[in-house]
Amino acid sequence: MPNRSTDTLFQLVQSLERSEKRNFKLYMTRNSGSGDLKVIQLFDALDKMKEYDEEQLLVKNPSIQKQQLSNLKAHLYREILVSLRLLNQEENIDLELHEQLDFARLLYNKGLYLQSLKILDRIKELARSNHQVTYQLQALFLEKKIESLHITRSMQDRADRLSAEVNEVNQRLELISTLSNLSLQLYSWYIKHGIARNEEDTAAVDAFLNHPAIDQAKDAKEFYERLYLYQCYCWHAFITQNFLGYYRYCQKWVDLFESTPRMIEIETAHYIKGMHNLLGAHFDLRNFQKFNDTILLFEKFMQTPVIQQNRNNLIQTFIYLNISKLNKHFMEGTFSEGLELVPYIEEKLDEFELYLDRHRVLVFYYKIASLYFGSGDADRSIDYLNKIINWKVDLRTDLQCYARLLHLIAHYELGNFSLLEYLLKSVYRFMYKMQNLSTVEEEIFGFLRKSFRLSPEQLRPQFETLLATLKPLEKSRLESRAFMYLDIISWLESKISNVPVQTIIRKKYLAALKKAAL
C-alpha cells in the first residue's frame, strides 16, 4: 500500500541516491570515531534490505544488540540528515539562508556585533530578492536584539527604520499566512468531497472567498500573495465547475512563475502543480492545441536539472504528466492506444510506492479503469475498480461513488445480471449515504432497474429515452460532475449505434478539430 506504515529510518535510507550514499560514507569517515562503526554497519544493513524486518536485521548483525538499536537508529537518522544538508546546501535558498543566519548568530555570540549586522543586511537582501519573507523577519529579530542590547552606532534612526521594516514584513506575513490557509482549506475540501454536489456545497465553498484577505490581496504585487490568491480562485472555480474561471487563474498561476523564473527553482512543486492544473483546464475546455502545447512544455521541463536532481520533483512530474497523457487519450478517443501507458505507470507506482499518497493512486486506478472500459475490456476495468472499492472510504468520496457506478455499468456490459440486482441496491445505498445522488445518477439507476426485464428490441428505445433525458443536463453546473467522471452520453450513443464507445468519442474529437479549423 502506498505510504504504508514502515520504519522511518528505512524509508530515509531507501530514498538516498547513489551519490548521497557515497557522500554519507565520506562524511562518516571524516567526522566520526571508531564508536560509529555500528552506525555504518546499520546503514549498510538497511541499504541492502528490500523491506524492513527488525528480527532479520538483528539476526544478520549480531554485533548490534536489541537494546542498542533504538539509539543507533536515532543517531544514524540524524547523521544522514546532516550529510544531506552539507551536500545540498548550495542548491536550496532555504538552506543557504539558514546557514547565513547561523553565521550571524555565531558572530553575535562572539561579541562581533558589527560583523553580525553586516551578514544580517546580506540575509535581508537575499531574502527580499527571493521573496523569502520569513527569513527577513528572522534577520530583523536578531538585528533588533543587537540594537536593543548594544550600542553599535551603525545607523542614524535605526530604531524607527527597524520598527517600520518589522511592521511591513509582519503585515505581509499575516496576509500570506491567511491566503495560504484559505488555499489549503479549499484544496482539503476538494480532497474530501470532490466537485460541489449541490447548492449547500457551493455555499460552503463560496464562503472561503468571502474572507477579507481575498479583497485585501487583489492589489498585491508580491509573489506569494498573488500565488496563494490565484490558488484560492483556482480551487473555487474547479470545485464549482466554473471552467473558464479555472482556466483563467491556472494561467495566471503559471504566468506568475514565468515572469519570475528564479521562483521556479525555489517553489518548483507549486510550479509543477500549476502546470498540472493548467493542463486540466485545457482538458475540461477541450482546448486541444493548447493542451498539446502545454504537455510538450511540461515534458521539456521534466528533463531539466531542477526535476532530474530532485526525487520529490521527479515523482510529482511523473504523476501529473502521466495523468495528462491519460486525459489526452480520453479526449481524443484513443483508449486502446492509451493502454500502452499502463505497464509503465504500474512500474512507477511500485517504484515510488513509499512516496505516493493514496489520493494520487486512487486517481490513477480510476483513470486506468476508465481506459479499459472505453477500450471495451470491462473485465480489466472491474479489476482496477475493485482496488478503489476495497479501499477505506476516507477521502475522495466522489471517486468512491463513481468507481462503484462504473463498476455497476461494467458488469452490465458483461451481462452479469445475477449480480446486478444486488449491486444496484448496494451502490444506490452507498451514493445516497455519501449524498452523491443527483438527477443524472437517479436516471441511470432507474434505467438499469427497468433494463433487466426488457428484450434487446425494447432496450434501444430506452437507451434513446435516457439519452434524451440526460443530454440537456450536460450544461447544468450542479449536474456536470457526473459527466466529468463518467462519459455516460458517449456510452449511451455507443449502445444506440452499436459501435465501441471509443469510436464515438473519436468521431466527436475529429469533428471538433474540423470545426476549430474552419
DSSP at 111: T
Residue type, 113: Y
Residue 34 has pLDDT above 60, yes or no: no
pLDDT of residue 29: 82
Residue 359 has pLDDT above 90, yes or no: no
Mean pLDDT highest for which of 171-180, 350-359, 448-457? 171-180
Instruction: Give the pLDDT mean for 458-478.
Output: 90
Query: Which helix H or strand E contains 313, and what residues bound it?
Result: helix 311-332
- The x, y and z cell numbers of residue 175, run together, are 496576509
Long-range pairs for 430-439: beta carbons < 8 A, 24 or more residues apart: 430/400, 430/401, 430/404, 431/401, 431/404, 431/405, 434/397, 434/400, 434/401, 435/197, 435/198, 436/197, 436/397, 436/398, 436/401, 438/197, 438/198, 438/478, 438/479, 438/481, 438/482, 439/473, 439/479
Query: How far apart are alpha carbons 250 and 244 in whole angstroms?
Result: 10
Both ends of the chain: CA-CA distance in Å? 50
Query: Which helix H or strand E contains 500, and what residues bound it?
Result: none
Instruction: Give the pLDDT mean for 59-74.
Output: 90
pLDDT of residue 30: 81
Angle at 190 between CA 186 and CA 333, to 5 degrees: 130
pLDDT of residue 356: 87
Q: Among 503, 507, 510, which Cα is nearest to 376's?
A: 503
pLDDT of residue 232: 97
Query: How far apart are alpha carbons 85 and 92 in whole angstroms?
Result: 10
Query: How far apart are alpha carbons 391 and 448 in whole angstroms?
Result: 26
**Is-contact 38 73, C-beta < 8 A?**
no
Residue 333 has pLDDT above 80, yes or no: yes
pLDDT of residue 427: 93
Collapsing DSSP to helix, strand or coil, 258 comes out as: helix
Query: How far apart are alpha carbons 113 and 153 in whole angstroms?
Result: 11
pLDDT digits (tens, 9 = 90+) for 218-259: 999 999 999 999 999 999 999 999 999 999 999 999 999 999
pLDDT digits (tens, 9 = 90+) for 396-425: 678 888 999 999 999 999 989 889 889 999
Please state the three-class secondary structure of 380-397 as a single string: HHHHHHHHHHCCCCCCCH
- Dihedral (Cα; 102, 103, 107, 110), 10-degree rounding: 60
Q: Among 359, 293, 283, which Cα is nearest to 328's?
A: 283
Residue 3 has pLDDT above 50, yes or no: no
Q: What percent of the chain has pLDDT over 90?
A: 66
Q: Among 432, 443, 378, which Cα is nearest to 406's?
A: 378
Query: How far apart are alpha carbons 413 and 416 in whole angstroms?
Result: 8
pTM, entire model: 0.86
pLDDT of residue 17: 87
85 pLDDT band, cuts 50/70/90, is: confident
Instruction: Give the pLDDT mean for 485-492.
Output: 92
**Is-contact 205 187, C-beta < 8 A?**
no
Mean pLDDT of the chain: 90
348 conformational bin, left if phi > 0, alpha if psi -120 to 50, beta if neither: alpha
What burial class does residue 271 get, using C-beta atoms within 10 Å of its C-beta: 0-12 exposed, 13-18 middle, 19+ buried?
buried
Q: What percent of the chain has pLDDT over 70?
A: 95
